[in-house]
């Protein structure tokens, strides 16, 4: 019997993904999580489990929202490169040309290329710590990046 809620499914060929997912909970490595895997356009893994809150009173559900930080870098990079490929975005034009507030505190010359190659000099948002509700609201994140 699990000491945490868990649900979902995994195709037989992806049973090892389900086993590792469960092992992370059994080892105490996860509070709450979900994983989805598509293979050839079809969902083959759709698992969720654990808790959505530190008090362990709200079970993680299939529709639980989560804040992602580092994993979004690859998605943003793909989106930027897609736009650049279609000549809708110039990787060497300053970000401030489209987002004037971003120029604050010496960032006027920073380009998307600099951000995507992690050479912008913006390393953290310690100057404006963000709460979970601020992360979900988006605007405080954009304001913190502009003020960095």
Structure pTM?
0.57
| 80 and 13 in a common domain | no
pLDDT in tens, 91-146: 999 999 999 999 999 999 999 999 988 889 887 777 667 777 777 777 888 888 88
Our answer to whether residue 120 is catalytic in this structure is no
Cα–Cα distance measured from residue 41 to residue 33, given in angstroms and rounded to the nearest whole number? 22
Could you list the residue range(s) of the whole structural domain that residue 28 is in?
A: 1-66
For the chain, what is the domain count?
2
Which residues neighbour 134 within 8 Å (Cβ) at sequence distance 6 or greater? Answer: 140, 141
Active-site residue identified among 62, 70, 120, 133: 70
| 1 and 61 in a common domain | yes
């Amino acid at each position: 019997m699990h000491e945490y809620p868990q649900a979902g499914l995994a195709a037989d060929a992806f049973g090892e993904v389900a086993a590792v997912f469960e092992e992370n909970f059994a080892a105490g490595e996860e509070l709450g999580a979900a994983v989805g895997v598509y293979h050839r356009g079809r969902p083959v893994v759709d698992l969720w489990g654990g808790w959505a809150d530190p008090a362990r009173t709200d079970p993680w559900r299939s529709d639980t929202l989560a804040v992602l930080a580092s994993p979004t870098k690859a998605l943003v990079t793909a989106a930027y490169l897609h736009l650049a490929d279609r000549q809708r975005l110039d990787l060497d034009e300053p970000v401030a040309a489209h987002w004037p507030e971003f120029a604050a505190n010496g960032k006027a010359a920073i380009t998307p290329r600099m951000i995507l190659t992690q050479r912008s000099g913006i390393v953290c948002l310690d100057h404006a710590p963000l709460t979970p509700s601020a992360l979900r609201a988006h605007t405080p994140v954009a304001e913190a990046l502009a003020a960095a």
